[in-house]
Amino acid sequence: MAAKRQWFIGTRMVDSNWYDAHATFYGDMNGGETMQGACGYGDLFQQGYGLETAALSTALFNNGLTCGACFEIKCYNNPQWCYPNAGTIKVTATNFCPPNYSKPDGNWCNPPLKHFDLSMAMFTKLAQYRAGIIPVKYRHVLCSKKGGVQFQIKGNPWWTLVVLYNVGGAGDIMDVKIKGSKIGSWLPMTRNWGVNWQTGENLIGQSLSFQVTTSDGKMIEFDNVAPENWQFYQNFDGKINF
């Protein structure tokens, strides 16, 4: 096997190697069944992901740590179904394709298989929908997002849950810290699930700042993202991105 080649862009790293996997699709051409999902996103159209999404098998999902990462995928070595000159698609990991141990074969999302369950719209850019399943090559690429990182604040006075979305660069987040204007020090948040991060601090009546670190080690500080009068279930624009 050839040595892994990696490109460094600033502090960011892109693996340029292509790896083997398979792909199927779920839902309909309008994205039915692909909204929300195991990463904790909401309406993927409103949040900027649209149909360019994928559910990952256990081997790729990594217990939700891969949520938000972006992949480039191409149909490979299946002339019966692959569209000639289809090129590649780019998708964001937004969901989990769970394993199925109830039947002896056809369980494409079971470990250790690497598998992408795409939206129907993305699958049919690569191959005829009648194919059902196709062999693909994939690689982990930087996410290109428009606008700033977005923060949605949920919870109650004793528990603050923040959903981070529209994250560029590596896309998948490995650390989040929060600071209230009256506290003055950075508090570590813990991952509740997927892209949801939590703290038990009461932060009502304080403007909120965040430090977000993606999986490649790049950290951005988002100062005073939410004003003092923020309310639960509001969204706030971080203005900048990775």
pTM: 0.91
CATH topology of domain 150-237: Immunoglobulin-like (2.60.40)
User: How many angstroms separate the CA atoms of 110 and 83, rounded?
Assistant: 27
Least Cα distance to 152 among 74, 77, 50, 40 occurs for: 40
Provide CATH code, domain 16-141.
2.40.40.10
Percent of the chain topping pLDDT 70: 91
Q: Kindly report the number of other CB atoms within 10 A of residue 45's CB atom.
A: 12
For residue range 98-126, list pLDDT tens digits in order.
Answer: 999 887 777 899 999 999 999 999 999 99
Identical topology for domains 16-141 and 150-237: no
Find out whether 216 and 11 touch, Cβ atoms under 8 Å. Answer: yes
Among residues 103, 113, 71, which one has the least CA distance to residue 88?
71
Identify the pLDDT of residue 14: 61
d(CA 89, CA 76): 13
Phi/psi at 124 (nearest 5 deg)?
-80, 0
Task: Kindly list the domain boundaries of the chain, sorted by start residue.
Answer: 16-141, 150-237
Contacts of 170 (CB under 8 A, 6+ apart): 12, 69, 142, 143, 214, 215, 216, 218, 242
